[in-house]
Amino acid sequence: MPDRFEILHKDLAGRIGRLSTLHGTIETPALMPVVNPHLPLIPPNEMEKMGADMIITNSYIIHQDPDLRVQAMERGLHDLLGFSGPIMTDSGAFQLSVYGDIDVSPLEILNFQFAIKSDISVPLDIPTPPDVTRERAESELKITEERLVQAASLERSALLACPIQGSTYPDLREKAGRFARDLPFDVYPVGGVVPLMEAYRYRDLVEVVTAAKKGLGSGRPVHLFGAGHPMIFALAAAMGCDLFDSAAYALYARQDRYLTVQGTGKLEEMSYLPCCCPVCQEHTLKELMESPQKTRLLAQHNLYVSLQEMKQVKESIREGSLWDLLETRCRSHPRMLDGLKRLSGQGPWLESLDSASKSTFFYLSPEAACRPEVMRYARRIDRISLQGNVLITDDSQADTSGFAHVLHFKPPFGPYPVELSETYPFNAEVPEEADDAAMKQALKITKDLIRANPGAKFRFRLKNREMEELLRREQTIAGAIQGE
Ligand code: GUN
Ligand code: ZN
């Protein structure tokens, strides 16, 4: 097959892509609802109507049920489940991580997935949990990698996934990513992260996913195993995850939990259904609670909001405003904010992937002071070459006569040539009153500009007198150093 993954648009490390399978091409990022082959809470053909382009099921569960196994072998997976689009199958590795043992060999379960015509098969990896000893993480990774090499050598017509493990050791994750990059696979799932998400450890999640991505490079499609809560789609997509699987829509429904992009509500503690999906339009909260179909209806709502959020993520990527969505979503939980901070700490990496032209930069929170656009500008500030009298001002009416150069001042960027004020990112919408993070960043960039231009004489006209005084002092210090 020619290139199976094509990238159409980029924002941060996120992208809109197209992934081609034997049952059609899907646009990514995409959410695959998990289908339990025993008792699907929502029938797969209904999922298709709800907007799910692709689903995922568990080949191990099918394999262990004699009836299902025969049916799947005879009719194929698509006919068995009643879904005409692409179907991914998992290998039972997750059962392995929960129950400690499964009674099927790696080769057997992989060949079974091929035989039932899975569109994306997954070899039997070992999902190493977080925080294990390094020795265990390394030895389990070695076994996973031996199985991957074996899997890669098999004859196949459909796509094959290459799970990336390594527990909470970023260097092992990066190494696993590099290893995977050199093998002929089609999709690269980051595995072993469910316990991190269950414990709200989003900072560690960002750490391991970005490490795996660095090793893997940016061209391959990445699946984040077990990421099904819509709250984290923006964050995961911003790191360059392209596929998501959701069992959450059903698991939460079984516990009377109502998903929203801000988090999870408990039905009995709610008063309204704050959503416009068909379920929430056609039922009051009371009707929903009293319905004999409660779990199924709630699962439908949960899936609707998840699919809708995926569309929102795509729209934001297309528009170049994924960062804004990220900031909004990450404000729904303090630990999400930790995740966002960790991601903004990956400045150089993000910057290397982030495409340059976008919709207007909105400064909405202190995290934006470290956005890739700001970091990029900070790193290149010494390229601005100035001689003679230079005015730095935030007053567009300021008297500029007698100055060789005029720079406008806007936190978090600090000074930039006035000619660029209508261009991205300097046309940013920022608050009237800058916060400390924006001021600190602007101050640092201004200092670097002053130091890079010893031949220039800077003057400042700023509304913020304190800032003006700080910069004036900086100019004096720089001058004194020059004069030594
Ligand atoms: N489902 C959730 N996590 C994992 C994982 O690490 N590997 C596999 N194969 N499936 C998973
Ligand atoms: Zn709803």
pLDDT per residue as tens digits for the range 130-181: 999 999 999 999 999 999 999 999 999 999 999 999 999 999 999 999 999 9
Q: What is the DSSP letter of 470?
A: H
Task: Give burial (CB, 10 Å; 0-12/13-18/19+) of 480.
Answer: exposed
With tokens 């995850």, the residue in question is 241
Residue written as token pair 């990022």 = 29
Report how many helices (DSSP H) and strands (DSSP E) the chain contains, helices first: 21, 17
Q: Are 171 and 141 in contact (CB under 8 A)?
A: no
Rounded mean pLDDT, 434-454:
93
Structure tokens at 102: 């499964």
Is residue 260's pLDDT more than 60? Answer: yes
Measured distance CA(253)–CA(248) in Å, rounded:
8
pLDDT at 392: 94
- 93 CA: nearest ligand 1 atom: 9
Which ligand 1 atom minimizes the distance to the CA of 122? 9
Question: For residue 253, which ligand has an atom nearest its CA?
Answer: 2
Is residue 1 scored above 80 in pLDDT? Answer: no
Write down the pLDDT at residue 420: 85
Q: How confident is the model at residue 237 (pLDDT cuts 50, 70, 90)?
A: very high
Rounded to the nearest 5°, which phi and psi values hold at 363? -90, 105
Does residue 187 have its Cβ closer than 6 Å to ligand 1? no
Query: For the chain, how big is the Rg over CA atoms in Å?
Result: 26
Atom of ligand 1 nearest to the CA of 125: 9
CA distance 55 to 67: 21
- The helix or strand, by DSSP H or E, that contains position 31, with its residue range, turns out to be strand 30-35
Task: Return the minimum-mean-pLDDT range out of 251-255, 269-273, 480-484.
Answer: 480-484
Assess whether the C-beta atom of 90 lies below 6 angstroms from ligand 1: yes
Tell me the longest C-alpha to C-alpha distance in the chain. Answer: 88
pLDDT band at 219, cuts 50/70/90? Answer: very high
Tell me how far apart the alpha carbons of residues 287 and 76 are, in angstroms, rounded to a whole number: 39
Token pair, residue 423, equals: 């261009």
pLDDT in tens, 412-431: 999 998 888 888 899 899 99
Per-residue pLDDT tens digits for 308-338: 999 999 999 999 999 999 999 999 899 999 9
Helix 436-452 crosses helix 465-483 at what angle (to 10 degrees)?
30
Residue 350 pLDDT class (50, 70, 90 cuts): confident
Find the Cα–Cα–Cα–Cα dihedral 462, 467, 473, 475, rounded to 10°.
Answer: -60
Whether the per-residue pLDDT at 482 is higher than 80: the answer is no
**Which pair of structure tokens corresponds to residue 193?**
């992260």
2-353: CATH superfamily: Queuine tRNA-ribosyltransferase-like (3.20.20.105)
pLDDT band at 484 (very low <50, low <70, confident <90, very high): very low
Whether the per-residue pLDDT at 205 is higher than 50: the answer is yes
Residue closest to 327 by CA, chosen among 426, 235, 206: 235
> Of these residues, 11, 53, 90, 324, which one is catalytic?
90
Q: Determine if ligand 1 sits within 6 Å of the CB of residue 94.
A: yes
116 burial level (CB within 10 Å; 0-12, 13-18, 19+): buried
Its pTM stands at 0.87
Report the pLDDT value the prediction gives residue 481, as an integer from 0 to 100: 61
Token pair for residue 243? 């596929």
Distance 374 CA to ligand 1 centre (A): 36
The answer, yes or no, to whether residue 472 has pLDDT greater than 90, is: no
Sequence-ordered strand ranges (E) for 347-422: 388-393, 405-410, 414-417
Catalytic residue list contains 103:
no
The pLDDT > 90 percentage for the chain reads: 81
Return the closest-CA partner of residue 147 out of 179, 115, 194, 118: 179
Best of 90, 120, 223 to mutate for ligand 1, by most ligand atoms within 8 A of CB?
A: 90
CA angle 93, 193, 224 (to 5 degrees): 85
Phi and psi at residue 352, to the nearest 5°: -70, -20
Ligand 1 pocket test: pick from 141, 194, 209, 243 the residue with the most ligand atoms within 8 Å of its Cβ: 194
Best mutation site among 32, 56, 89, 97 for ligand 1 pocket (most ligand atoms within 8 Å of CB): 97
| Confidence check: pLDDT of 479 > 80 | no
What is the domain partition of the chain in residue ranges? 2-353, 366-483
Question: Which of these, 333, 331, 275, 325, lies nearest to 304 by C-alpha position?
Answer: 275
Å from CA of 118 to ligand 1 middle: 17
Give me the long-range contacts of 379-387 (CB less than 8 A, separation at least 24).
379/351, 381/414, 381/445, 381/448, 381/449, 381/452, 382/448, 382/449, 382/452, 384/417, 384/449, 384/452, 384/453, 385/453, 386/449, 386/453, 386/455, 386/456, 387/453, 387/455, 387/456
> Rounded mean pLDDT of the chain?
93
* Cβ-Cβ contacts under 8 Å for 444 (sequence gap 6 or more): 378, 414
**Separation of CA 273 and ligand 2 centre (Å):** 7
Confidence of residue 483 (pLDDT cuts 50, 70, 90): low
Q: What is the pLDDT of residue 357?
A: 59
